[in-house]
């Protein structure tokens, strides 16, 4: 684990989480320099094969530059929430959820997509009320100034089109029947269904991993999972009879591609007799 230290040292909550998760080493370093240290190794930090986890814009840039040198789960940028609403849920709840993402940082996105203009105005009013008492008011205000949006749509179908094109990190379906829309979701990092499933649950306790694709990456990337730490290797073994059966097709394809040595590598085995070495014993 690498984590940026504060003037007081490493956050004890991070230390506890690392211990619970089974980490055996923790390094006090962060930012792009931490990513570089993991990718190439230093005198004190070992080179690794996989780097995962969110960070600021510099961490995202470093992971993008080092993609291929090491495996990364994706390039996570500023946090995003999009709430699709038909006006059937509480405007105060929707407002609170929008602010919960806007407080992450000044580059965070908070977007409401609604079929109900009056409801959208009510959400705006509730956001203003909640903002007055927020300890992170300054960050939220700057976030909303840059990336706060309310999009009015004709119907929920059009709203789903907007959501799929945006491909948000977090998508809340704050509609009367959220489960009816599941088949329409094509691009989102995590989907929260109904009025009792705020995005904050996903951050802390819901269960699925909450390192999610951002910046439209949900169109082609998935949330972090165990598969990121796995890889596959292909194993191929043909008997002499199996080789003879497919040899004409291999030779034809290789020659069509202009790779004549490929074709010859198969042909010499047909002309030179069977090579039974290394085939092992057949099992019943």
Q: What is the DSSP string of 221-264?
A: -----GGGG----------HHHHHHHHHHHHHHHHHTT-HHHHH
For residue 76, the model assigns a pLDDT of 81
Site of tokens 């959820």: 97
The average pLDDT across 115-135 equals 98
Least confident of 55-69, 116-130, 187-201, 270-284: 270-284
Nearest to 268 by CA among 255, 251, 254: 251
Say whether pLDDT at 276 is over 90: no
170 is catalytic: yes
Reduced to 3 states (helix: H, G, I; strand: E, B; else coil), residue 272 is: coil
The answer to whether 154 and 67 are in contact (CB under 8 A) is no
Say whether pLDDT at 228 is over 90: yes
The average pLDDT across 224-240 equals 95
Average of per-residue pLDDT values in the chain = 94
For residue 157, the model assigns a pLDDT of 97
The average pLDDT across 70-99 equals 95
- In angstroms, the CA 70 to CA 93 distance is 41
For residue 284, the model assigns a pLDDT of 45
For residue 97, the model assigns a pLDDT of 98
Looking at the domain that runs over 80-229, which CATH code has it been given? 3.40.50.1980
The tokens describing 110, both together, are 């908070």
Q: Of 75-79, 206-210, 247-251, which one has max mean pLDDT? A: 247-251
Least confident of 7-11, 84-88, 148-152, 177-181: 7-11
- In angstroms, the CA 87 to CA 110 distance is 17
Say whether pLDDT at 283 is over 60: no
The average pLDDT across 56-84 equals 92
The average pLDDT across 250-264 equals 98
The ranges assigned to domains in the chain are 12-72, 80-229, 234-277
Helices (H) and strands (E) in the chain, counts: 10, 9
Looking at the domain that runs over 234-277, which CATH code has it been given? 1.20.5.1300
Task: Considering the candidates 73, 122, 169, 172, report the single residue annotated as catalytic.
Answer: 169
- In angstroms, the CA 34 to CA 52 distance is 12
pLDDT, one tens digit per residue, over 23-69 is 999 999 999 999 999 999 999 999 999 999 988 889 989 999 999 99
262 is catalytic: no
The average pLDDT across 65-77 equals 91
Task: Considering the candidates 80, 104, 126, 170, report the single residue annotated as catalytic.
Answer: 170
- In angstroms, the CA 284 to CA 273 distance is 26
For residue 77, the model assigns a pLDDT of 82
pLDDT, one tens digit per residue, over 186-224 is 999 999 999 999 999 999 999 899 999 999 999 999 999
For residue 5, the model assigns a pLDDT of 85
The average pLDDT across 236-248 equals 97
Stronger pLDDT, 159 or 74, i.e. the higher one: 159
**% of the chain beyond a pLDDT of 70:** 95
The average pLDDT across 100-128 equals 97
Cα dihedral sign, 115-119-123-124: positive
Say whether pLDDT at 277 is over 80: no
Nearest to 105 by CA among 129, 134, 78: 78
- In angstroms, the CA 62 to CA 57 distance is 9
């Amino acid at each position: 684990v690498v984590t940026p230290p504060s003037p007081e040292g490493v956050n004890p909550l991070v230390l506890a989480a690392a211990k619970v998760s089974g980490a055996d080493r923790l390094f006090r370093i962060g930012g792009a320099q931490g990513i570089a240290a993991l990718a190439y190794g230093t005198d004190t930090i070992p080179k690794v094969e996989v780097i995962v986890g969110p960070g600021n814009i510099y961490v995202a840039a470093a992971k993008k530059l080092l993609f291929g040198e090491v495996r990364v789960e994706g390039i996570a940028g500023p946090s995003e929430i999009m709430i699709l609403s038909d006006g059937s849920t509480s405007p105060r709840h929707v407002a609170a959820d929008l602010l919960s993402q806007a407080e992450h940082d000044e580059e965070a996105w908070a977007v409401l997509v609604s079929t109900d203009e009056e409801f959208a105005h009510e959400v705006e009013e509730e956001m203003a009320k909640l903002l007055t008492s927020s300890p992170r008011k300054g960050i939220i205000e700057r976030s909303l100034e840059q990336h706060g949006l309310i999009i009015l749509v004709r119907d929920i179908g059009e709203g789903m089109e907007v959501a799929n094109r945006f491909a948000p990190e977090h998508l809340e379906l704050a509609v009367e029947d959220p489960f009816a829309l599941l088949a329409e979701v094509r691009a989102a990092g995590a989907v929260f269904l109904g009025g009792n499933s705020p995005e904050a649950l996903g951050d802390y306790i819901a269960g699925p991993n909450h390192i999610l694709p951002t910046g439209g990456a949900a169109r082609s990337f998935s949330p972090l999972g165990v598969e990121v730490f796995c890889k596959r290797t292909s194993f191929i073994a043909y008997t002499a009879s199996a080789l003879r059966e497919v040899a004409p097709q291999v030779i034809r394809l290789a020659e069509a591609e202009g790779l004549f040595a490929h074709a010859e590598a198969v042909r010499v085995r047909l002309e030179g007799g069977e090579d039974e070495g290394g085939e092992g014993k057949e099992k019943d």
